[in-house]
Structure 1
Amino acid sequence: MCIVLRGQDGVIEQARRQLEDLVPVWAVLDYTRTKTIERELLLAKISILGPEYFGDQLANKGPDILPATEGLEEGSPAKQHADNTVKAAGSIHPGVDVDYHAPRLSPSEALRQKHQHLAGIELIAKQFGGRLVDVSNDSVIVEMTGKTSRVDAFLKLVRPYGILEAARSGAMVMPRAPIASPWSGMADEDTTGEQLDVLDASLLPPG
């Protein structure tokens, strides 16, 4: 288990000792001053419909959940049914703006717009070493692994498209293996070994 703690040295040392006192804990290693490899996994579901429809999509209503009332004859059964449906949606979901209508696009224009958004998201994901793991009619899921700072930067770049969901694993670290070199001053200092020497071997798991 990796725990990220930010604070003064005394607070961190106190937290380390309290963790060591827990019965299920075998050992606690502090990697604050150790060269480590840091990675974080991100799964993000991003809208490809555009920001005009993001609000409705985020509320799980979809862009076409409310019936279109344009072009219907006043007083006709179809017009009355559409008006009643819109009013009912407004009463059930107070946050729905029933008077707002996103720009209506032809099927061909909507399809081209979706593919443009999809291509843009895929390009950004590739620049960060990510990949598309799922594509649906109105959203795409991106998988990305990197440092926490790169994950934050990726989310900032794709936020204009509309982030529907995001799941992050949290930071995972592993100490780097020291590099041995016959040249004087070129070898890495093995600080991890010094930390392991101060540990009580009886606290470590079997094997």
Structure 2
Amino acid sequence: MLPSSIFETETGRKRGAASTTVGTALRNAILGGTLPAGLALPQSELAEGFGTSIIPVREALKRLEAEGLVTFMPNRGAMVTGMTEDDIIEYSEIRASLEEMAARHAVGRMSRVDLARIEDAYEAFVNGTNANPTQHGLGDLNRAFHNAIYAAAQRPRLLEMIDDLHVRLTRYIRSHLELEGRKDLTDIEHEAIMQACRKRDAEEVARLTRQHILDAAAISVRVIRERREG
């Protein structure tokens, strides 16, 4: 049986009727770990839980399939998609290349307003996590810092691809932030990226961004492996 918490909408109301509501609730539950990889998602149970017909549920699941969060298995229906360690590393390498490119383009176009937004996002990650210490909250604040940089690139298709990879990977890559001392190290890495932005050093921002992503991915894979083996 699926956890009842997934049938709560963002506004606190139960029994959403639209496929958008169903999709948002399932996406949040998958990314937040409430629905783990390999869990079956029976359409009839989802329809009953959300108080809707099968059609909006199917539409929502198809969108989540396109995002890489749900897989349709022959004769088994939909289930939450999982990733192997090799998948995580490969996707992270692609993500690092794309974000390196976005960072390089961003510095060349960066205005004072853009830099102020980056500084605000940096401060939010450093200070805001004390009030929102969950792994999910840390992940969102971390993503907001990087997005503040990439927004200056003005490359919407590139940013769309980065966002797609982030959605696919976020369940796995943010686990490194819960390790003791990792948050402090991330603050240092973010500050180095921000200082390079202030100096308008595009190559340094790109290099630091790539290394930051690959280091986090490697640590996350190690955490996943240790949990599985321990």
Q: Verify same fold: TM over 0.5.
A: no
TM-score range, shorter-chain basis?
A: under 0.3
* Greater share of strand: 1
Structure-1-length-normalised TM-score: 0.24
* Greater share of helix: 2
Structure-2-length-normalised TM-score: 0.22
